[in-house]
């Protein structure tokens, strides 16, 4: 759907916490956007626009809405915004269930509204640099580790939802996940072995404990090198790499959304990949082995 870019698109933000505050800044810096309202979140009063008392009041003022609330609250707000005829940007993950994600994409199609899921980790400097160096067909092995603070008595299968962002990084670089070979859940820990379509193994570990700091590692072995993305740093055979300098990730994501909205450009992470990764994490949570749709 094309529309004139001469009048900025009116935006509302739901949930102005840490993530929502960065989204407010990205919208405010885009000349194609006009932030008109926010609702909820401890930084809402700092947004410089009206803080509405209800979600409906925020939606009434806007043409598009950014949803930056915790994961369990996202599907209902996405549904409400789409039913109100608003375009939607929502932070990843869209939902914890692939069927629910498909339902929301179908609602967006019926309403002829854009539903954009922001995967800002894929737009950060280390991820962009690595994407330019890796060829999916050359990947021999992948290992992902994600540590997070939290109670260590949580059953391992409940940690699968925390793998979503990290599995998107794998699929972005190496292609779809084809099979789940093994799953080993324990209190505060989930380990799994998966296979890419090429047959290359993917080792996944998610750990949660009060004593852990938030940390992630992505290691990829290709035909010539071992690549390690550790936080915002990238190493090749243990040598630190000079990183690309893309636009700040949330601003870049906002620009993608506006191209998607104004020009009909494809999103950088499409529906099929979003549903695929959610299908994998659903199977991990259920302890279900075998081929993945």
Average pLDDT of the chain is 94
Say whether pLDDT at 2 is over 50: no
In a domain, 146, yes or no: yes
Nearest CA to 210 out of 187, 179, 228 is that of: 187
Instruction: Please give the tally of structural domains in the chain.
Output: 2
CATH of the domain at 21: 3.40.50.720
User: 239: Cβ–Cβ under 8 A, 6 or more apart, which residues?
Assistant: none
46 and 191 together in one domain: no
List pLDDT tens digits, range 116-172.
Answer: 999 999 999 999 999 999 999 999 999 999 999 999 999 989 999 999 999 999 999
List pLDDT tens digits, range 175-219.
Answer: 999 999 999 999 999 999 999 999 999 999 999 999 999 999 999
Percentage of the residues of the chain whose pLDDT score is greater than 90: 92
253 and 117 together in one domain: yes
In a domain, 237, yes or no: yes
Q: What is the pLDDT of residue 6?
A: 66
Q: What pTM, to 2 d.p., does this model score?
A: 0.92
Question: Which helix (H) or strand (E) element contains residue 120?
Answer: none
130 and 77 together in one domain: no
Using omega within 30 degrees of 0 as the cis cutoff, is the peptide bond preceding 93 cis?
Answer: yes
CATH of the domain at 220: 3.30.360.10
Which range of residues forms the domain containing residue 91? 9-121+249-268
pLDDT band at residue 4 using 50, 70 and 90 as cut-offs: very low
Say whether pLDDT at 111 is over 60: yes
């Amino acid at each position: 759907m094309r529309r004139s870019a001469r009048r900025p698109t009116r935006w509302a933000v739901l949930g102005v916490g840490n993530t929502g505050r960065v989204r407010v800044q990205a919208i405010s810096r885009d000349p194609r956007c006009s932030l008109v309202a926010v609702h909820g979140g401890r930084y809402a009063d700092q947004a410089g626009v009206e803080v509405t008392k209800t979600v409906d009041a925020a939606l009434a003022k806007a043409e598009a809405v950014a949803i930056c609330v915790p994961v369990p609250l996202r599907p209902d707000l996405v549904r409400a915004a789409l039913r109100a005829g608003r375009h939607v940007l929502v932070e990843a993950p869209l939902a914890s269930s692939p069927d629910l994600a498909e339902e929301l994409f179908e609602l967006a199609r019926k309403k002829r509204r854009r539903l954009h899921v922001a995967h800002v980790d894929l737009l950060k400097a280390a991820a962009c640099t690595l994407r330019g160096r890796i060829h999916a067909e050359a990947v021999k092995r992948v290992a992902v580790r994600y540590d997070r603070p939290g109670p260590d008595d949580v059953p391992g299968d409940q940690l699968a939802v925390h793998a979503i962002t990290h599995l998107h990084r794998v699929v972005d670089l190496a292609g779809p996940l084809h099979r789940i070979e093994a799953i080993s859940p324990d209190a505060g820990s989930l380990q799994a072995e998966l296979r890419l379509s090429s047959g290359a193994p993917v080792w996944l570990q998610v750990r949660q404990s009060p004593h852990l700091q938030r940390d992630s590692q992505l290691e990829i072995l290709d035909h010539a090198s071992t690549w390690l993305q550790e936080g915002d740093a990238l190493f090749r055979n243990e040598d630190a790499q000079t990183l690309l300098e893309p636009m700040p990730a949330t601003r870049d994501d906002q620009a993608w959304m506006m191209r998607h909205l104004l020009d009909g450009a494809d999103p950088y992470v499409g529906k099929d990949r979003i549903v695929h990764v959610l299908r994998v994490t659903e199977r991990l949570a259920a302890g279900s082995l075998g081929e993945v749709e």
